[in-house]
Amino acid sequence: MTTANHFVLSSERAALEAAWQFFLREEMDVSFASVVAYVRARSPGVAAARVRAEFTRRFRQAGVGRPAVTAQPAALPSR
């Protein structure tokens, strides 16, 4: 990896981390468009798909969006 590529990736990672912290400070009440704009203000050219993928990874890592307890399916009535 060249130094220039490393710098771009470091800048992108830092922007994504800053956006995640911003998102948490705002208590997750921020539009996706605002998050993408926040990232791009710090690292221009980051694709919205990259932001979405990173946030999806962080949500999964935090366990957000998954049920705490897996419910058993209801029994179907017999005929």
What residue spans define the domains of the chain? Answer: 3-62
Cα radius of gyration (the chain):
18
pLDDT at 66: 55
Amino acid in the structure at residue 77: P
pTM for this one?
Answer: 0.71
Percent of the chain with pLDDT over 90: 63
